[in-house]
Structure 1
């Protein structure tokens, strides 16, 4: 296993009696705790994605909706309440914005260097963390160099070095499966008592698909619930008074299935787990999105009856699980609990108001890297003659997706032209709009103005450090690929007025537009696949008039498709797109290919070519929400009748399409 100093007794929990003047600030559990009762606050972050400063490096401006420095203010205020508290992170901290890419690809990490997000976490005094799936994006060597700088332990119970063993407790893990924190609690009478807090971590086993280039042959991932069932009893045997699960996994189905990605509910249901911090989905629990979801109680803040929290993303919220504990002999038990996800900002319509100020110590810890990242993202690589925006990327062919496809086609066509096995295959390109609003909010769109284009703009066009791949598929595979993508749209009844067009549960990064063919999407048909890629209607067919160079695509016809490692390896559960279809694995990131393409061209003019459209539906209108700035570029959209339809919710603007 990867070893590090755990410092398990390096400090007591913040504890003690508050001054009378501050009692009004205390949580009710602290106020009412009696002798042999203590209030423990579990503070949690998740999906930080290197967001320390409240700064959007893609837009090159401050942003009040993000930043661990802002979340730190809530942490500090809770600690100042003189209650018992620990601070944990739930993973996906190492990748996700240009600072992460700058450190990984430009500056690097030498022995003794501390990654900036780790610096910030050290400054804030985290007690433990687990790994998320994006921790593996830069490879194992980089990951463990980053972890070496931490002053707190990392836990992960289901990623092994090499193959899985016969059972979880025999697995050779990369990091410790769990850690036991020896702390002291102050009870309601002011007396201190020892407590052993167990913290165990999990990551989705899908990392073996998503980062196969780094992990294949080097690691294996076990089902999260299987690992928990083995290790949690062991933690109890070793004297844990309470067990906290850090599950970089979403709130999904209530019933367990082997290898499931979003396993928070069956994990929480395991006997011996007292509380769970979830994440991965970039949602907020407790929150309105989880009203009525089987297996959770949104009002009580419980998951499978246990207190749980999902604290948003990018530092947007601090998760709080409050436990009232009672000492029973020499051990503790949970008497009652509450949960909340406390935000760092509030949004009213399109106005964002910060609720806290940044913590100066956290800001100072990464100031040098912050300034270096800004300089890095401002480096020019060429010019664009067209405004590159994604405001209408889900409803019409789009310039921000077009430039990605042009660069991918340029690269793969050149590579395959020298390969006698594939030189004759037509080259298509699959690309998706990564920034298309949704849970990211009304400002979460690509928008690159005409003129000089810099690295930050390219990073804005292509968010992830994916690597270029190509797959060889048939015309039948191609149609199924597009059918899966078309699941982002709701079925529309012909003659409907202002029906909702977009399925909010379908992530935009799975809406692949395939360039090089033309096709229509018939919204009157039900979706063939659900948002998870499961075939739900074998008779459904939304893709119409699929053609290549003006001729209908033959189901047996073969194509090469430029894509990325995530999709080529099965990411997104696209039918027929599996690793055995891969014909080229490139050493370059898709983002670097876009940069090289722009440098080669000098100036780009990626006007959308309108290769896809909705099939006409007479007397039918649909509505969708997009960013308010879409009003500036609506005239650029061709091939679809769009008009403004008033204000949407949460700061979005609403638009109408006449089909």
Structure 2
């Protein structure tokens, strides 16, 4: 990639412009901007040098170009949250994609290593679990002595300098993790997880892996002189692993607060000679973080002795727009409390890059200036199509080729059975098996996660919506899995999006308003009129939440209280009637845990009362992964709709709705509603009539 193809735009009146133009990222990712910290050279000398070396501008970063005697350019490159994505392949959908894969990220790494005089590559955790290849190795092939995990084999090819543990490394148990780490040709560090119990002093902990590593490296300065340097790398993982993987970890390891561990070990690293200390923080950015925080990067940045940070866990990009207007964060420059930081997305979508201009002083090396970016492997075009920005690295693919092919066979093979067809043809008009099974899986998962918390014992409800329900997707755009084997790739039909699980605690009054919002899916119906149009075409199906665990009816004679944007349009309307829990009316003040996803819990859809401050659990797992695990554990699922919701009777009224033509073969299975074929709809749809 040519960083300097637009050299004419470098102006002599703007050092900041120089930094941005000289190290700009692809136009597809405007959020990945750059900055300079304390200038090492005067702007005039920097620019004069740049003008004198235009012949080299096509290949070298400005820090490498302008480094002089006793100043050196060090590039730190980071991958994070790879989740076993070696190949650019979506195993759930069973098709190649251009938005992920270490084989693509590696192309960036190799292309830009040459732009820096000195460079290291690190991984920031969550490499071991997260796609069907990870499950195939853990549940099918196993890790016997001498085996190398395919993600580790691919990382070995690239010559990583170090890595840290993420929370998902613990998902398959400690023995599996230890076997995996044995195959790594690079050190993996983590300072806040101890084998056995925690000691009274963090330094006395018997850490599960080494807390840190000090790399003895040589850097070449601008005069061509090689100098020794000690680079300290220390790793951290969210202490919430003790809840998320309690069954694997309780009694075997213990997790310490991230900041507490850092305050203990960073001075020790300095005592042992580390001249530059970089935190490998599998932990993101949260300005409200306190003791025991999951996302403690801002607190880490405030610790004396840490010079720079690479981040992860949040599946976001930093520098980037997700962190604008946060105290202590420069979301454009890529700094936390003034220290350089980068977060490289997830699944290999970006390469995090820190460029550090180091200055050698009497006291050792220090960072005199820096830039930060997250470099994407693809871009989304205006028409929503995707363009790849890099190609695969063949040797990275080769390292996992056999396992990739075995994984394809695995995802195409049944992982369980369904005793009921899983289809969404009637998901908008009746309780539906494709939504039911998602709710069952979410309830199963959240019930485990609530154990041992202050919310254990509260009733658990589950909210889920149909994703594939025709509409603009056309008459074939429906979930349709017949009775019999369920393959992992079928899960993509049941849950389209890579949402992650959340749980919120709300009162009964909020449950009712949540359902009032969902009921905006339907037009108002008049008694005594035939063949009225039922579905509001402006209301997206993914906002039609069905809440399992309560029973209720929808009175269509009432107008919708909320419009499709969540705005109140009829404040006195009340479509939800006979709302009950375990056969008794829901008390407006009664508290419930509701299993949902990050989109809804974060305010997606603008549902009344469903806000992020109500979140009591942020799951490390996607809803799709939870669904796979549920099917595997159950063996045979029987998600027959239990008709926990229905339309209230409307005397003399019938309504029409359109769905996929295959629904004609399944209409007899629909419960809780009187429905019959009513001919052909438009554009290939089939029309049905409901008698209310």
CA drift of 1:459 comes to 4.7
2:489 corresponds, among 443, 451, 457, to 457
2:308 corresponds, among 270, 275, 300, to 275
1:594 corresponds, among 613, 631, 636, to 631
Match status 1:140 vs 2:177: no
SS of residue in 2 equivalent to 1:120:
helix
Question: C-alpha separation between the residues in 1 aligned to 2:430 and 2:362?
Answer: 66
**Structure 1 contact 49–97 (Cα < 8 Å) conserved:** yes
**Structure 1 contact 462–591 (Cα < 8 Å) conserved:** no
1:315 corresponds, among 348, 351, 354, to 348
Q: How does 1:487-566 map to 2 (within 5 A)?
A: 513-518=547-552, 546-548=579-581, 551-553=584-586
Give aligned pairs, total.
529
Question: C-alpha separation between the residues in 2 aligned to 1:245 and 1:396?
Answer: 52
1:161 corresponds, among 195, 220, 236, to 195
Residue equivalent to 1:84: 118
**Structure 1 contact 205–222 (Cα < 8 Å) conserved:** yes
Partner deviation per Cα, 1:75-115 (whole Å, 9 max, x = no partner): 00112335211001111111100001111111111111111
CA drift of 1:591 comes to 3.1
Match status 1:373 vs 2:410: no
1:285 corresponds, among 318, 337, 347, to 318
Residue equivalent to 2:451: none
Q: How does 1:351-430 map to 2 (within 5 A)?
A: 351-380=385-414, 385-387=421-423, 400-405=434-439, 430=462
**Structure 1 contact 47–282 (Cα < 8 Å) conserved:** yes
Match status 1:219 vs 2:256: no
- Structure 1, unaligned stretches of length 5 or more? 1-18, 414-424, 437-441, 465-470, 493-497, 503-507, 528-541, 565-571, 579-587, 614-629, 640-659
1:243 corresponds, among 260, 272, 277, to 277
CA drift of 1:455 comes to 2.1
Residue equivalent to 2:13: none
SS of residue in 2 equivalent to 1:118:
helix
Match status 1:152 vs 2:189: no
**Structure 2 contact 509–588 (Cα < 8 Å) conserved:** no
**Distance of aligned partners of 1:552 and 1:169 in 2 relative to their CA distance in 1, 3 Å threshold:** same
Match status 1:45 vs 2:79: yes
Question: C-alpha separation between the residues in 2 aligned to 1:432 and 1:297?
Answer: 37
Pick the structure with greater CA Rg. Answer: 2
**Structure 1 contact 404–594 (Cα < 8 Å) conserved:** no
**Structure 1 contact 405–515 (Cα < 8 Å) conserved:** no
1:68 corresponds, among 95, 102, 108, to 102
Match status 1:199 vs 2:236: no
**Distance of aligned partners of 1:293 and 1:562 in 2 relative to their CA distance in 1, 3 Å threshold:** closer
TM-score normalised over the length of structure 2? 0.65
Partner deviation per Cα, 1:486-519 (whole Å, 9 max, x = no partner): 69x99x9xxxxx9x999xxxxx9xx994345338
Question: C-alpha separation between the residues in 1 aligned to 2:465 and 2:403?
Answer: 29
SS of residue in 1 equivalent to 2:199:
coil
Question: C-alpha separation between the residues in 2 aligned to 1:396 and 1:147?
Answer: 49
Question: C-alpha separation between the residues in 2 aligned to 1:48 and 1:593?
Answer: 23
CA drift of 1:387 comes to 3.9
Partner deviation per Cα, 1:104-149 (whole Å, 9 max, x = no partner): 1111111111111111111111111111111111111111111111
Cα root mean square deviation, aligned: 5.1
Q: How does 1:546-625 map to 2 (within 5 A)?
A: 546-548=579-581, 551-553=584-586, 591=628, 593-594=630-631, 599=636, 609=643, 611=645
**Structure 1 contact 428–516 (Cα < 8 Å) conserved:** no
**Distance of aligned partners of 1:92 and 1:486 in 2 relative to their CA distance in 1, 3 Å threshold:** farther
SS of residue in 2 equivalent to 1:25:
coil
Partner deviation per Cα, 1:449-477 (whole Å, 9 max, x = no partner): 4558642235545799xxxxxx9xxxx98
Question: C-alpha separation between the residues in 1 aligned to 2:299 and 2:593?
Answer: 40
Residue equivalent to 1:261: 294
Question: C-alpha separation between the residues in 1 aligned to 2:422 and 2:289?
Answer: 49
Question: C-alpha separation between the residues in 1 aligned to 2:272 and 2:445?
Answer: 56
1:332 corresponds, among 353, 362, 365, to 365
Question: C-alpha separation between the residues in 2 aligned to 1:40 and 1:166?
Answer: 37
SS of residue in 1 equivalent to 2:313:
coil
Question: C-alpha separation between the residues in 1 aligned to 2:149 and 2:159?
Answer: 15
Residue equivalent to 1:420: none
**Structure 1 contact 286–299 (Cα < 8 Å) conserved:** yes
CA drift of 1:400 comes to 3.9
**Distance of aligned partners of 1:194 and 1:484 in 2 relative to their CA distance in 1, 3 Å threshold:** farther
**Distance of aligned partners of 1:327 and 1:589 in 2 relative to their CA distance in 1, 3 Å threshold:** closer
**Distance of aligned partners of 1:271 and 1:545 in 2 relative to their CA distance in 1, 3 Å threshold:** farther
SS of residue in 1 equivalent to 2:298:
helix
SS of residue in 1 equivalent to 2:144:
coil
Question: C-alpha separation between the residues in 1 aligned to 2:513 and 2:54?
Answer: 59
**Distance of aligned partners of 1:515 and 1:279 in 2 relative to their CA distance in 1, 3 Å threshold:** same
CA drift of 1:555 comes to 8.9
SS of residue in 1 equivalent to 2:292:
coil
Residue equivalent to 1:95: 129
Question: C-alpha separation between the residues in 2 aligned to 1:350 and 1:227?
Answer: 44
Question: C-alpha separation between the residues in 2 aligned to 1:611 and 1:291?
Answer: 42
TM-score normalised over the length of structure 1? 0.68
**Structure 1 contact 484–574 (Cα < 8 Å) conserved:** no
Question: C-alpha separation between the residues in 1 aligned to 2:284 and 2:141?
Answer: 33
Question: C-alpha separation between the residues in 2 aligned to 1:235 and 1:181?
Answer: 11
1:55 corresponds, among 75, 79, 89, to 89
Question: C-alpha separation between the residues in 2 aligned to 1:271 and 1:387?
Answer: 57
2:60 corresponds, among 26, 34, 47, to 26
Residue equivalent to 2:384: 350
Residue equivalent to 1:623: none
Residue equivalent to 2:338: 305
Question: C-alpha separation between the residues in 2 aligned to 1:412 and 1:343?
Answer: 34
CA drift of 1:594 comes to 2.4
**Structure 2 contact 73–357 (Cα < 8 Å) conserved:** yes
**Distance of aligned partners of 1:111 and 1:201 in 2 relative to their CA distance in 1, 3 Å threshold:** same
SS of residue in 1 equivalent to 2:286:
coil
CA drift of 1:237 comes to 1.1
Match status 1:119 vs 2:119: no
**Structure 1 contact 185–195 (Cα < 8 Å) conserved:** yes
**Distance of aligned partners of 1:591 and 1:20 in 2 relative to their CA distance in 1, 3 Å threshold:** same
**Distance of aligned partners of 1:396 and 1:317 in 2 relative to their CA distance in 1, 3 Å threshold:** farther
